[in-house]
Amino acid sequence: MTSNPTNLARLLDAAEANNVASLASHAVSMVAARSKERPHPENGWLARLDHAAVRPNGVALCDVIRDMGESGIPVTTITDDYLPAVARRFGENWVGDRMGFADVTIGMSRLQSALRDIALDDGEVDPASDMATGRALVAVPQGESHTFGAVLLAQQMRRAGLNVRLKLGAQPAELEEEVAGVDYDFVALSGGHDDVVEPLRAAISAIRGAASSALPVVVGGSLTDRQNDVARRTGADLATCDLGAVLEFSGVSIKRS
């Protein structure tokens, strides 16, 4: 396995659809927790991905990713290093007035689609597999329009051996129903900006009311970088962007390769 699940990129958060500045700021910070041990993505491939993601023909991005695989770049390196780095470039270009909101939106949408479509054959555990070492719910509450980080996190967790359910734009009632019917080991919620505190609080309250036992609820994302009291304000058990800390807190083991 090429990625270290205990040193994940931070949950990549985004703003509401009408909050351009917040979208840019979260795109800029989305790989702030990269491990120093990981190889730096090559600029040539980054430029090709960057260009392809905003071209009128979205198929071009798939072509570049295919070429990268054929050149010997592991698929997990593409998903865990290259795609987040391109997303950060979009944010930097927006802040520097080198890229418009429409292109940022199109580019991020295509990166997320690519992330979803890539077949992760390098050790990914099927969500229904009996080999899974734990069960987790990853959710982005209603009000967070960009979900790139949650999709990436779910894939990384699956490769670590967890059975993961991903819910995007989840309303409290949906989360309540979800945890009432499934025995999860923990729930991870993504929070990116101050305005999401109340939706997070509502989501966690619903989870608390429906869970049949003491279910650990964790909040991650750039909100935890800016505030020290996220857990208290949202009602979460833990606020962190470190998956290793989440697993330890929840008592979940992971497979080793």
pLDDT tens readout for residues 17-71 = 333 334 444 444 443 344 344 567 888 999 999 999 988 876 688 889 888 888 9
Q: Does domain 134-250 have CATH number 3.40.1190.20?
A: no
pLDDT (mean) for 150-161: 81
- pLDDT at 30 (0 to 100): 42
Coil, strand, or helix at residue 29?
Answer: helix
* Mean model confidence pLDDT for the chain: 77
Q: Per-residue pLDDT averaged across 135-143, rounded?
A: 91
pLDDT tier at 74, thresholds 50, 70, 90? confident
pLDDT of residue 11: 32
Q: Is the pTM of this model over 0.75?
A: no
Residue 36: the pLDDT is: 41
Say if residue 184's pLDDT is above 50: yes
CATH class of 5-117: mainly alpha
Domain ranges of the chain: 5-117, 134-250
Order of all β-strands in the sheet with 186-190: 162-170, 134-141, 186-190, 217-220, 238-239
Name every residue whose Cβ is closer than 8 Å to that of residue 134 and which is 6 or more positions away in sequence.
Answer: 161, 162, 163, 185, 186, 247, 250, 252, 253, 254
Model pLDDT for residues 61-72, shown as the tens digit of each residue? 888 988 888 898
Of 19-23, 46-50, 115-119, 128-132, minimum mean pLDDT range: 19-23
Q: Which residue has the higher pLDDT, 125 or 134?
A: 134
